[in-house]
Every structure is written in C-alpha cells, then in structure tokens.
Amino acid sequence: MKLVVAANLLLALLLSGGCLPAWTSDTKGHMFGYDDHNGPSHWAEEYETCAGKFQSPIDIEEHLVTQVRLPPLHFHGFQSEPISSTVTNNGHTVMLQMNMSKMASVSGGPLKGNYLFTQLHFHWGYNDSVGSEDTINNHTFPLELHIVMYKENYGTFENATHYKDGLTVLAVFYEIYETENQVYSEIVQLLPFVTMPNSQHQLKKLITLDSLLPMTKHLYFTYNGSLTTPPCLEVVTWIEFKQPILLSHYQM
C-alpha cells in the first residue's frame, strides 16, 4: 500500500532560527543574512517575492496533514555511481555536485514530469537541537539534506525557476544515534578541507544518491512552497521524507 502524507498549505510559516544560511548565492548582489537587521523578516524589503503566501520553511503539524494516495515516486539513476563528486563550500553551505554519465532524476508522486538532479546541500545548526529548516510538530532536527532538482522540460535550472512547478526538493531529516553511519563518514571526513568559502574537494569513494536517502521512501510530506533564501521564489514542490536518517553526535 502506498500511503502518502500531504501537508496542508495553511500551516504556520516558521522562520528558522540558528540555522546556517543556504541554497544559492544572491544573484542580484544584495546582502541577506540571518541576523536581526538582515534576517528573514527583512528579506521582503529587497525581494518582494519573500512576502508571498507560499513561503518555506514551514512547521508541519501532523494532525493537520491530509493523507492522500499518490502514484509511486520513481527514482532514476539514484543507484548509479557518479563519475566524480565534488564537495564545495559556497559561502552559505556545504554543497555536493555529482558528475554523472546520465543525470539522476525523479518522477511520479505529486510531480508532473521528470526532474533532473542539480546539487545537494545541508542545513545545520550550532548544536544538536537546532538545525533543520522545516520542522515536524515543532520538532527541529539537527541536520537537513536538500536534494535539488529541476523540471527537465524547462531545459535549465535557471529557466525552471520561472515556473511554479519548476523545482522539486527532496528533503531528508537526521537524528542523533550512538553509532556512526558509514555512508556519511565519507562526506564528514571531507568537511575539514572545505571550511573556507569557495574551497572544494573531490570525494574519493563515490556515493550514490540512493545511499543518502532513508529506506522508507513511500512515506513523505509534500506541499508547494518556495526557495528558503532570497529571492524566495515560490516554485518548489517539497518532498520531505518522514523517516529520519541516524548519524552519530560526532558526525553531526
């Protein structure tokens, strides 16, 4: 049985506190941040779209969520090893880009069409109790992964951001556990090499996208939202897996 949990759009808008900024650098050259003077409540001064009605992140209250049945999600190329993978500190976050012979993609579920992989990145906090952007029942997870994909029909990522159904982000939450997670060790070991903005490092052991996702992939929350940093474009179909992945305190 495929049971999908779709989040209601009327949920409260939650502005993330103590969370490192991420997503993209600002293409207009404006400054934005997460402090009192330049934080999310000020973004709409420069970017009208940040005051929209469908802004992310949100708090997902499970008792307000409507359960719906959707077609199954299809993951294409998620089990293929990339030719190479590069970890980059882009000044906002740690981002992983993969060079693949055939770009991985996702379709089905709430999506109409095929969405191609662009990059993935992490959001985390200053300690284990804060970090994720979205929250579930007001619970914040210490780490959140965003796998960013754009609709193939729109040709490029940039072009896709002009359409309401242009992007999808697969989000994974993490919880602390006592043992290390072998798959993630490879990424964690590289972090000391990319502490400076614009620094880059190649992954030695190639990991697949599938290995970064939870085992249970048919249970997820989905809603139409936005990019979580300026220009906050409301072009994202969010797919947030319900099952968290376990990492040790050290890895976090």
Contact flag: residue 173 with Zn ion (CB under 5 A): no
Buried b (16+ CB within 10 A) or exposed e, 184-218: bebbeebeeebeeeeeebebeeebbbeebbbeebe
Region from 17-25, 83-91, 210-218, 231-239 binding Zn ion, contact rule CB under 5 A:
17-25
Nearest approach in angstroms of CB 123 to Zn ion is 5
> Please, which residue, 56 or 251, has the CB nearer to Zn ion?
56
DSSP state of 139: B
Q: Indicate whether 22 belongs to the interface with Zn ion (CB under 5 A).
A: yes
Q: How far is the CB of 212 from Zn ion (least distance, A)?
A: 14
Among 92, 146, 151, 217, binds Zn ion (CB under 5 A): 146
Contact between 116 and Zn ion by CB under 5 A: the answer reads no
Choices 23-31, 84-92, 105-113, 177-185; region in contact with Zn ion by CB under 5 A: 23-31
Tell me the DSSP string of 58-75: BEE-GGGPEEE--PPEEE
Least distance CB 3 / Zn ion (angstroms): 26
- Kindly report the CA angle at 28 between 26 and 30, in degrees rounded to 5? 70
Stated length of the chain: 252
Closest CA to 111 of 164, 55, 60, 56: 164
Is 249 a known active-site residue? Answer: no
For 75-197, where are the alpha helices, taking DSSP H only?
A: 157-160, 182-190
For residues 98 and 100, give the distance between their C-alpha atoms in angstroms, rounded to a whole number: 6
Count of residues that bind Zn ion according to CB under 5 A = 3
For residue 82, is the peptide bond before it cis, meaning its omega torsion is within 30 degrees of 0?
no
Considering the complex, what minimum distance in angstroms separates the CB of residue 11 from Zn ion? 18
The C-alpha atoms of residue 102 and residue 105 are separated, in whole angstroms, by 9
Residue range at the interface with Zn ion (CB under 5 A); choices 18-26, 60-68, 134-142, 199-207: 18-26
Q: Which is nearer to Zn ion, 126 or 205 (CB)?
A: 126
Q: What are the structure tokens assigned to 181, written together?
A: 């997670």
The residue within the footprint of Zn ion, chosen from 19, 23, 136, 190 (CB under 5 A), is 23
The least CB distance from residue 149 to Zn ion, in Å, is 12
For position 122 contacting Zn ion by CB under 5 A, the verdict is: no
Which residue's entry shows tokens 């055939």? 102
Which residue of the set 37, 92, 146, 162 is catalytic? Answer: 92
Stretch that binds Zn ion, among 47-55, 63-71, 140-148, 193-201 (CB under 5 A): 140-148
Please give the residue ranges that form the binding site for Zn ion (CB under 5 A). Answer: 22-23, 146
Give the residue numbers annotated as catalytic, written as ranges: 92
